[in-house]
Amino acid sequence: MTAVAPDAAGLRRRARELLAAHPPATTDRLAFLQARFDAGLAWVHFPEGLGGLGAPRTLQAVVDAELEAADAPDNDPRRIGIGLGMAAPTLLRHGTDEQKRRFLRPLWTGQEVWCQLFSEPGAGSDLAALGTRAVRDGEDWIVDGQKVWTSSAHLARWAILLARTDPALPKHQGITYFLCDMTDPGVEVRPLRQLTGEAEFNEVFLTGVRIPDAHRIGEAGDGWRVARTTLMNERVSIGGMRLPREGGMIGPVARTWRERPGLRTHDLHQRLLTLWVEAEVARLTGERLRQQLAAGQPGPEGSGMKLAFAGLNQRISGLEVELRGEEGLLYDDWTMRRPELVDFTGRDAGYRYLRAKGNSIEGGTSEILLNIVAERVLGLPAEPRTDKDVAWKDLAR
């Protein structure tokens, strides 16, 4: 007999039972998070035993509100965003039962940080052209190659990895999806210094890295289909994050406008109003997108949201610099730091302006996302792709 998923009242009761058994004030943070996962209150829409209860996704807010009111610790979601937003949905949809049991709990509690080994120096926007090779050797795969723009690789224990396993097939075929232990021999992480002076990104070199076949996700050669699940969820996690009104980049600009009337001009006022409205439209669209996600898997809507997010952040940060005049050009933190988090709102205007330039590259370039929206949302004809049916080994590189 199939168990009935709890409703809002049932979830509130379960949350209160968790708090009674593990009072946040006296319970170790990790122990509380593990107990929350085991109670099915981590992702309520996940299956029982995997951090959930099979409840509607929309009811997660009920649990979160109960625990937040009790000052219970969260799992620091910004720090482990790649694991939560990309690895977990992929494991849930394509992983084996053993893989789900092994990886989802420490992923959600933050004990194991994840990164994404997808992009390469010669395969960024055209991800399917990747050249990192994985060759079968008994029960292992031996991987050699280079990845780039890898957020949090210097912090990560695990990585989701795409590698080419059959170069005789066209580029979208012959790709396999793996889980890579970042502590294994042959994995080398090097920092990439950015425009901001920091190094939150990395390049990763893989030299003779052995990955057990048990850490393959999906069938060999079916990695592109698995990766599409990751990519769609990535764009939702970047462009569809939940924000309050005046959350995100528009907040600091609006506060500056109210607190410093001497900076105002009619032109800046009109531009700020336009951007404020666009930010609010994007926020409400994100709420609608999350409601749609409650009924199924993410689709091309996430690409549209991420596209809007990138352009909006860049225009808002540009207006903020212009609004502040000479002061807006100051950037007093030009250091080679290795941050755990990207903090847009807790820094100065100069940092926001510089860092926002990366928004149109990370998580799918704006040009690629425009193609996705054009083809999959608007139904426009696809661009000609002459290399689609050519063996990868025969492509010019």
- DSSP letters for 287-311: HHHHHHHTTS---THHHHHHHHHHH
Q: Residue 283 has what pLDDT?
A: 85
Q: Do residues 373 and 305 lie in contact, with contact meaning Cβ atoms separated by under 8 Å?
A: no
How far is Cα 21 from Cα 14, in angstroms, rounded to an integer?
11
Task: Specify the CATH class of 240-377 in words.
Answer: mainly alpha
- Measured CA to CA, the distance from residue 118 to residue 343 in angstroms comes to 24
CA distance 45 to 376: 27
Helix, strand and coil content of the chain, in percent to the nearest 5, comes to 45, 15, 40
The model's pLDDT over 131-167, given as tens digits with 9 standing for 90+, comes to: 999 999 999 999 999 999 998 999 999 999 999 999 9
Rounded distance between C-alpha atoms, residue 30 and residue 27, angstroms: 8
* φ/ψ (deg, to 5) at 170: -55, 160
Distance CA 204, CA 189 (A): 5
Letter for the amino acid at 150? T
Catalytic residue at 139?
no
Band (114; pLDDT cuts 50, 70, 90):
very high
**Per-residue pLDDT reduced to its tens digit, 262-285:** 888 889 899 999 999 999 988 888
**Right CATH for 114-221 from 3.20.20.10, 2.40.110.10, 2.40.33.10, 3.30.365.10:** 2.40.110.10
Given 112, 120, 198, 234, the catalytic residue = 234
Q: DSSP E strands: which ranges in 237-358?
A: none
Mean pLDDT in the chain? 89
Contact predicate 92/245, CB 8 Å: no
Pair 41, 18: CB distance under 8 Å: yes
Q: Residue 288 above 90 pLDDT?
A: no
End-to-end Cα separation, the chain, in angstroms: 56
pTM value is: 0.86
pLDDT of amino acid 195? 84
| CA gap 116, 271 in Å, rounded | 37
Q: Which helix (H) or strand (E) holds 209?
A: strand 201-212
Q: Report the pLDDT value the prediction gives residue 313, as an integer from 0 to 100.
A: 92
The residue among 4, 30, 6 whose CA lies nearest residue 17 is 6
What pLDDT, on a 0 to 100 scale, did the predictor assign at position 294? 55
**CA angle in degrees (0–180, nearest 5) for 370-380-287:** 50
Most confident of 168-172, 320-324, 380-384: 168-172
Long-range CB pairs of 13-16, under 8 A, 24+ apart, other chains included:
14/39, 14/40, 14/41, 14/53, 14/63, 15/41, 15/62, 15/63, 15/66, 15/67, 16/66
Read off the pLDDT band of 206 (50, 70, 90).
very high
> What does the radius of gyration of the chain's CA atoms come to, in whole angstroms?
22
The pLDDT of residue 305 is 79
Residue 248 has pLDDT above 90, yes or no: no
Which bin fits 145, alpha (ψ -120 to 50), beta or left (φ > 0)? left
Percent of the chain with pLDDT over 90: 57
Q: Give one DSSP letter per residue of 175-196, joined into a string.
A: EEEEEEETTSTTEEEEEE--TT
Dihedrals phi, psi of 351, to nearest 5 degrees: -65, -45
Question: What count of residues does the chain have?
Answer: 397
The neighbour count for residue 356, using CB atoms within 10 Å, is 21
Q: Judge whether residue 289 has pLDDT over 50.
A: yes
Give the span between the Cα atoms of 78 and 324, in whole angstroms: 29
Q: pLDDT value at position 339?
A: 72
- Whether the pLDDT of residue 345 is over 90: the answer is no
Supply the pLDDT for residue 135.
98
Q: What integer pLDDT is reported at residue 238 of this predicted model?
A: 57
By DSSP bridging, strand 201-212 and strand 175-181 are unpaired
Residue 366 in tokens: 């704006």
> How confident is residue 116, by pLDDT bands cut at 50, 70 and 90?
very high
Distance between CA 318 and CA 249 in Å, rounded? 11
Residue 328 — pLDDT band, cuts 50, 70, 90? confident
Q: What is the pLDDT of residue 78?
A: 86
Confidence class for position 332, pLDDT limits 50, 70, 90: low
Query: For the chain, what are the domain ranges?
Result: 7-74, 114-221, 240-377
Classify 133 as helix, strand or coil: strand
Helix (H, G, I), strand (E, B) or coil at 346: coil
Q: Highest mean pLDDT: which of 30-34, 232-236, 284-288?
A: 30-34
Q: What is the pLDDT of residue 1?
A: 40
